[in-house]
Each structure stands twice: as structure tokens, then as C-alpha cells.
Chains A and B, each alone.
Chain A
Amino acid sequence: MSAAVKPMITLEEICAEAEKIRLSNPNLGDKIVSDIYHNAEMIAGPAVSKNSTDSRSWDHKLDDILTSRLFGYPIMFALLSIIFWITIAGANVPSQMIADTLFAFQDQLLIWFELAGAPSWLTGIVVLGMFRGLAWVIAVMLPPMAIFFPLFTLLEDLGYLPRVAFNLDNMFKKCRACGKQILTMCMGFGCNAAGVVSCRIIDSPRERLIAVLTNNFVPCNGRFPTLIAIATIFMGGMVVSELQTAVASLVVTSLVVLGIFITFAVSWALSHTLLKGEASSMVLELPPYRKPQLGAIFYRSLIDRTIFVLKRAIIMAAPAGAITWLLANIYIGEISIIGHLAAWLQPFAYAIGLDGFILLAFILGLPANEIVMPILLMCYLSTGQMMEFGTLEELRDILINNNWTWLTAVCTMLFCLLHWPCTTTLLSAYKETGSKKWTFLTFLIPTIIAFTVCFLVAQSARLLNLV
């Protein structure tokens, strides 16, 4: 008995020999799999009979078009543009209405504070700081989100997203990353922190890290309103009014495509340097197209996403508004603290096409991207004369009064798309990777790319005398 128990040969020896055989037969693993498939084909062939004249049903035909080499990408681009077009066109009116209501209430609040004899610093912090910050966040963010999310969820529910994953899988493979990364990017459209957490679906640790490090290049909903607002007033403003919405939505779509392109570029670079390795395969089942369940779509997109995001924005915006107001109204010498900080940042900011206030707003907006625009406006408003804002027209006036050009707008949008992730995302990255090094790289890579791209754009535009 005991003689039979002791193996005369060890597993290690066999593994070493297997390794040798594998090296002398390239693609042995692939051949094994394809042999299994071939056998399945041989067995299924005679046992299954499909007795229908049009064996190619409509959903197969639709798949052929949606995932074809020729039409796959253009259709994706078109659908994305349409969604942004509907969002931008539809958000204007409700934005205006919400803004009117909230700013009317702000006037009322000011009157009440005056009646109650509140000191001016309290009025400043609560009404002009906190309330105005909140009002901006709600008026500008809520309508686009309430339109964009249901539309995006509709695509998800129809079964289009797996087709997108199918279309892009080849690109990911070329970057030696996992095709599932596109699904984590789709989550990133909602929230990069959620996107980072969703990278768990990727099994290979190497590919999961790539997905975590690049998730920030899809703009989250905290950045969409900023992108949409700037695109609408600056890019749209350059053409006749009928085309404004169309141009703005094309600009936003192009930015998203640029973000995806950068994702590929960075994934490629990472898997050829820091995270070397081959792409693992994934099985992707294209589910049948389903009739969307409208109730579920509205619930998922409005309650789960819109309200959730809005709540987070409000929680972050109120204190940020108060702090910004304080910074803008405490004077050291002739200039406010914000003025000092902005002046100090001005040389760097100018080199990348921004100004000191914009860069400062992005830095102060680190806790949440949602509050970058409100902070920026508060900075501008506190330095010049007090003026009410609320509509995009007024916003445009504010920005132009502060020397914005088309280059400022382009660089701000690029910086917004590419810059460092918010603290929540960084925290999620730390929890998921469990490593300070990778968390720091999650911060560093986008930061370097944002500065480089904006610098190149700004310098070449100035060199060519385009501004």
C-alpha cells in the first residue's frame, strides 16, 4: 500500500515537460479549444434541424448591422450624438425655470435675513455662498441628468451596450486589455467611483489595474454639466442659432470619443510598460434585444442615479460654497485670499490655456467635480461687481467679462475631461487596488495628460496666432 502511495514522479517534473511541449507547439491552448468547438459542431449538426425559411431572424440581421466593421463605429457615434443633442436641447427650458424659481427664492432669503438683522458675513456664507452654490448645482445639473440618464438606461435596456462591448473588444485586445473594460467605462459615465469599483468584474489583476487607472478618462456626470454648458455657450455660440445645439452636442460627443481614445492609448502604454502581459479572452453573450421596461428605466435612472448624484453634489456643494465665499471675502491687503491664490497660479494656468481662477476651481473641486463650475463663478463674481446669473446667456457674459476666449473654453473642457479624479474615485481606487502606489498613479497619469494636452493646444494656438 505505502509503496503505491509514494508517487514515482512529481507534478513539477510533469509540468516542466508540459511547458517544453507547449513551447514547441505554439497556440496549443487555442487549438485545444477550437477542437472542442469543432466536435460540438459535428455533434450538433445532425441532431439539430432548423426548419424555417428565413433562418436569419430580424435580430440577427440587426446585429449584423450594429456590429459590422463598416457601420459599427459610425452608429455608436451617431447614437451618442443624438443622446447629447436631446439632452442639450431638452435641458435649456427646465434649467431656466428652475434657475428662475431658485434665484427668486434667493432674493426672498436676502430680504428675510435683512429683516432678521443677520450680520452681513452670515448672510454672505449662507445665502451667497451655500444657497447660491446649491442653486447653481441643481439648476444646471438636474435637467441634463434627468434627460441623459433615462436615455442611456434605455440603450442599456434595449441590449445595445453589449453590442458596444463587442465592437470595442478588438480594440481592447490590441491594447492588451480586457474587453470587459468597456463595461466599467459605461459605469464611469455615471460615476467614476462606481466605475472603479465595477472593475472587479475583470478577473486578471493586471487588466483590472489598467481599467482602474484609465476609468477617469470617461467623463462622469459631475463633469458632463460643465462640458455641456461650456460647449453650448462657446462652441454653439460661434454658429447661427439653429445649429447651436447640434454643434454643442457634436463637441461633447467628440470629447467623449477623445476620452475613449486616450483610454486606449494609456491602456496600450501601460500594458507595454508597467503592466506587461497578454490580453485574456472573454466570453461575451449578445443577449436578445428586449422591449424596454419603461417603469424600470425611470426608476433606475431617476431614483438610483439622478437623485443619488444630486444628493452627493448638494452635500459637497453647500460646504464648498461656504468655504469659497469665505476665501473670496477675506482680504489680505488689497486682494482676497482667492485673488492671491489665483495670482500665484496664473503663470502655470496661462501656459495651459486657462487662468488662475479656473485652475484654482479645479483644485478646490477635488472633492467633487460637480462643484468646479460653481466655485469658478463664485470666484469671478466675488472679484467683480455682484451680478445675478442663472441662464446660460448670463453665464456667457460672466465668462467673457473675465477674458474667456474660445481657447479658454477648449482648454477648460479638455482639462475637465482629462484632469485628476475626484477624492471619492481615488478612495475607491485605493480600496480596490489596496496600494498607495497605484492610487497615486490613478491621480498622476490623468494629471500629466491633462497638463500636456492643454499645454500643447494652448501653445500651438498662440503660436499660430489663432487667438
Chain B
Amino acid sequence: MGMSNSTIEKHHKLLSEHFGVTTTPGQFTVALAGNPNVGKSTVFNALTGLHQHTGNWPGKTVDNAQGSFTYLDRSFLMIDLPGTYSILAHTVEEQVARDFICFGKPDATLVVLDATCLERNLNLALQVMEITPKIIVCVNLIDEAEKKNIKIDISALQKDLGVPVVATAARNGKGLDILRQKLYEMSTGLCTVAPRQINYSSEVENAIQQLLPKVSRLIGSNLNPRWVALRLLDGDEAFINSISQYLDFDLHSTRLQEVAV
């Protein structure tokens, strides 16, 4: 998949040191994000069954649950991120969720949305899409939405978002098979995505353009420079901490490799 062995090793080290996530060779990582009370845990339990273990995020008092499942002979490690309304990092939970999606570089990120209040939930999906294109949107509680006479045009949504959208009713197991299949396709790179980017007002866009060249030079292609520019413009201290830690780690381990070579 275009990752050299040393890069993979480095990534494993990052995952275990910063996020307490240890994968077996060849195992895909899937991050699970969503607002509180959208049935995220139901999705998590339905996909991973009893293969779970829980703990804390390293150095944080935030719960961390991980579970594994196998689909088409490939193993997946699913990391249940804290339920958050956004990942603009106002809280420790948001910071944990954002740092994992951004620096943990999961092979796929599954964002669970509540079908009965899609608009509000979409904010989180859009924010995740700014960080990673490897996103699958799961519109859960579709049965409850039907009860409330809310109809959602899944294919229109998929076209508009440019990423796979799956409708589920996780409590009844509805839609989970398609979800597994999409996760497989996303992780193995079989699926092509063109995630919709957020249109910003001209004022914000101008500010981004002013900062973008320098940000690109600093971070290269590791992260989405537009998104990094936005966080820096937002003056997000927690993010500045995270990214400087991450850049240090990157620099440090690259140097180590150079020494080794």
C-alpha cells in the first residue's frame, strides 16, 4: 500500500505509545466516531461482539474501548472514540477523538450519525472529512427516523458527500453487512472517494490562503494542510501542542532510523 516497512514500524510505535493501540501484523484500524446518544456503542458491540477490551487513553481519564472482528479473512481493530458533538477540541474527549483520527491515521473512520437529527450530526462528519478522506458515514437509527416520518435520501447524500453512506438500524442488525463490506473496501483501498470539502466564507478562505503555503512546507503531505491552517487560525492551543508533539515524534524517529541505517 505504498508504505515502506520503516514507515509502518514507525506508525506502530506511534499508535502504541500515544494511543495505547496495538495492532497485529496486517490488521486494519478503524476509528469509530459519533455524537453522544446516536447508538455508537450499539454499532460497536454489533460489529465486534465479545472481542473487546476497555481501558483509558494514555494519560487521560477518558474511556477507550477497542474491539476486533474479521471480515473476508482480514482482521480489523475498531477503536471506539469518545462521543462528541465536534472535534474542534473544546473538551478532552474531543481532543482525544481528533488526535486519533488526525495522527493515529486509521485505515478507515466510521462516523455514526443519528438519522432523526441528521443536520446537527453532519457537522461532525464534515469536520472528520476535513482530516481524512477515508471516511464512511453510517446513518443509524434509520428505523426511528421512519417512525417519525423522516425520510433520508441515502444515495443523494452519498453523492453529495462523496464518501460511502450506509443506513443502519444497529439494534436490529439492519445494514451491518453492508457496513462491514464498505469498511473492507475502504481499508483495502478498493473504493474511490471524493470527499466534499467545506465551503468557507471569503473571509475565512482568504485567511487560509495566507497561511497555506507555509503550512504545506512545514507538514508536507502527512496531514491536510488546509485543515491544519484552520486549526492554527482558530488559535487552538490543544492542537498546537498535539501537532508539535507529533512533529517531534516524526523528527525524532526519523533521526533514529538514520542512525540505524
Contacts and interface: CB of A to CB of B under 8 A. Distances in A.
Interface of A: 1-2, 4-5, 7-11, 13-15, 17-19, 21-22, 25, 28-29, 31-33, 35-37, 39-41, 43-52, 203, 280-283, 285, 287
Contacts of A39: 126, 198-199
Contact of B201 (A9, A35, A283): A35
Nearest to B219: A7
B252 to A, nearest CB: 10
A5 B220 CA distance: 10
Given A11-B247, A40-B126, A41-B119, A35 B235 contact: no
Query: Which of A21, A33, A281 has the most chain B CB atoms closer than 10 A to its own CB?
Result: A21
Nearest to B145: A48
Interface in B214-261: 214-215, 217-218, 220, 229-230, 232-235, 240, 243-244, 247, 251, 254-255, 258
Contacts of B220: 4
B118 A44 contact: yes
A44 B254 CA distance: 44
A11 B240 contact: yes
Given A10-B218, A46-B153, 6 more contacts: A14-B211, A29-B234, A32-B234, A35-B198, A44-B122, A281-B90
Lowest 4 CB-CB distances: which A-B pairs, in order? A44-B119, A40-B122, A18-B232, A52-B149
A36 B197 CA distance: 10
A14 B85 contact: no
B5 interface: no
B73 interface: no
B160 interface: yes
Chain A at the B interface: SS class = helix
A25 B235 CA distance: 12
A28 B90 contact: no
Nearest to B244: A11
Contacts of A4: 220
B157 A43 contact: yes
Contact of B218 (A11, A36, A43): A11
A180 to B, nearest CB: 11
A40 B215 CA distance: 26
B153 A22 contact: no
Nearest to B206: A25
A130 B195 CA distance: 73
Contacts of A49: 150-153
A11 B218 CA distance: 7
Contacts of A280: 90
Contacts of B207: 21-22, 25, 28
13 contacts: A7-B217, A11-B243, A18-B235, A21-B233, A25-B207, A35-B204, A36-B127, A39-B198, A40-B120, A43-B160, A48-B151, A50-B148, A283-B90
A2 B258 contact: yes
B24 interface: no
B153 to A, nearest CB: 5
B211 A18 contact: yes
Contact of A32 (B91, B118, B150, B230): B230
A29 B91 contact: no
A7 B216 CA distance: 11
Contacts of A203: 90-92
Contacts of A51: 149-151
Given A22-B233, A51-B149, A281-B90, A46 B126 contact: no
A29 B237 CA distance: 13
A9 B247 CA distance: 12
B88 interface: yes
Contact of B233 (A28, A46, A52): A28
B161 A43 contact: yes
Contacts of A33: 86, 88
B120 to A, nearest CB: 7
Nearest to A49: B151
B175 interface: no
A36 B126 contact: yes
Nearest to A201: B91
A92 B185 CA distance: 70
B254 A5 contact: yes
Nearest to B199: A39
A283 B121 CA distance: 13
B233 A47 contact: no
Contact of A5 (B154, B244, B255): B255
Contacts of A283: 85-86, 90
Nearest to B92: A203
A285 B36 contact: yes
B156 interface: yes
A32 B200 contact: yes
A36 B198 CA distance: 7
Interface in B172-230: 196, 198-201, 203-204, 207, 210-211, 214-215, 217-218, 220, 229-230
B48 interface: no
Query: Which of A46, A49, A283 has the most chain B CB atoms closer than 10 A to its own CB?
Result: A283
A48 B118 contact: yes
Nearest to A42: B199
Given A22-B233, A50-B149, A13 B214 contact: yes
Interface string B65-107: 0000000000000000000011010111000000000000000
B123 interface: yes
Contacts of A41: 119
Contacts of B211: 14, 17-18, 21
B254 A47 contact: no
Nearest to A200: B61
Contacts of B157: 43, 47
A35 B200 contact: yes
Contacts of A35: 198-201, 204
A18 B88 CA distance: 17
A417 to B, nearest CB: 33
Interface in B120-169: 120, 122-123, 126-127, 148-154, 156-157, 160-161
Contacts of B229: 18
Nearest to B243: A11
Contacts of A28: 203-204, 207, 233-234
A46 B204 contact: no
